[in-house]
Amino acid sequence: MNLKTLIDKPPWEWPANADNTLLAVLTDDQAEADDRLAAAELAGDLVVINDELVDALLTILHDDEEAEALRSQAVIALGPLFEEMDVRFDDLDEPVITEIRFEQIKEALHQLYLDGETPEDVRRSILEASVRAQQEWHEDAVRAAYSNDDGLWQLTAVFCMRYVRGFEEQILEALDSTNAAIHFEAVGAAGTSEIDAAWSHVAALASSEKTEKPLLLASIDALIGIRPRQAGDVLGQLLDSEDEDISDAAYEALAMAEAMVEDADYDDEDDATIH
């Protein structure tokens, strides 16, 4: 088996030794740069991530002789693991890394972020990955990134607002950005932050035939975070879309919205019973 085999298949079809293939490419400094980049991206999938791959990714990240693009991809690959460890650690029978090591890695990333010698692209990637497991320093870092005149830092900031709360004003401002990438991330952040004031903007995007597909899909996801009870009014128009990706996304979002409403109603009934 080789790397191309993994690239061409979805993770759930990877063979049992896929982790060894990725590890071999990551640790081979003579391998093609594009291959190592691809291996770093794939190594972060929760299907294969393990202690050895975490070590390899961290080694690349901390090596200032490695290419900046590879260092950035190495830390971005850790994002899903950070989120999994932060949200579901107590539910994991066999976590990839121990809780103590997880805390050590988070602190090491923070220090690397603060290091003035760390390249800007790598610092931005550290912030984007580490916010999946929110820490005290993130709020100030995101605020500083959003205030930066550099559009790439602003983009990073708005992405991070999906995970770090307290930025409703900035998200609403970013929804009006002429920068397409920032606008896209703002839509996602509006949904995860459940910003009611963003409803009309997001609903209009989801209803417009002129909205490009990636932004339309993001809008579909955001609708149920903002107003799950009203999301069906918009999603119903998309169920019969000729584009299968759009119709499937609308069906999934509608089912999720209905489940969210049922859970909320159940909680309300419980509260009424208690009181």
Domain ranges, ordered by start, for the chain:
1-133, 194-275
Residue 100 pLDDT more than 50? yes
Residue 153 pLDDT more than 90? yes
User: By three-state DSSP, how is residue 254 classified?
Assistant: helix
Token pair in block for residue 164: 């770090």
Average pLDDT in the 1-14 region?
A: 88
Residue 27 pLDDT more than 90? yes
The amino acid that residue 137 corresponds to is W
Average pLDDT in the 60-83 region?
A: 96
Average pLDDT in the 226-233 region?
A: 93
Give the pLDDT band (50/70/90) at residue 95. confident
User: Under a CB-based contact definition with an 8 Å cutoff, are residues 141 and 150 in contact?
Assistant: no
- What are 198-228's pLDDT values in tens digits? 999 999 999 999 999 999 999 999 999 999 9
Residue 174 pLDDT more than 90? yes
Q: Give the span between the Cα atoms of 71 and 68, in whole angstroms.
A: 5
Q: What average pLDDT does the chain have?
A: 92
User: Under a CB-based contact definition with an 8 Å cutoff, are residues 75 and 122 in contact?
Assistant: yes
CA atoms within 13 A on the CB side of 215: 21
Give the pLDDT band (50/70/90) at residue 87. confident
Residue 88 pLDDT more than 70? no
CA distances to 5, 41, 42, 163, 166 from 11, in Å: 11, 12, 8, 25, 35
pLDDT of residue 266: 47
Q: Give the span between the Cα atoms of 99 and 274, in whole angstroms.
A: 36
Q: Give the span between the Cα atoms of 64 and 118, in whole angstroms.
A: 8
pLDDT of residue 265: 56
Record the pTM.
0.89
Residue 166 pLDDT more than 60? yes
In eight-state DSSP terms, residue 238 is G
- What are 108-139's pLDDT values in tens digits? 999 999 999 999 999 999 999 999 999 999 99
Residue 64 pLDDT more than 80? yes
Q: Which DSSP string do the residues of 169-218 spell out, in sequence order? A: HHHHHHTT-S-HHHHHHHHHHHHHTT-GGGHHHHHHHHH-TTS-HHHHHH
pLDDT of residue 132: 95
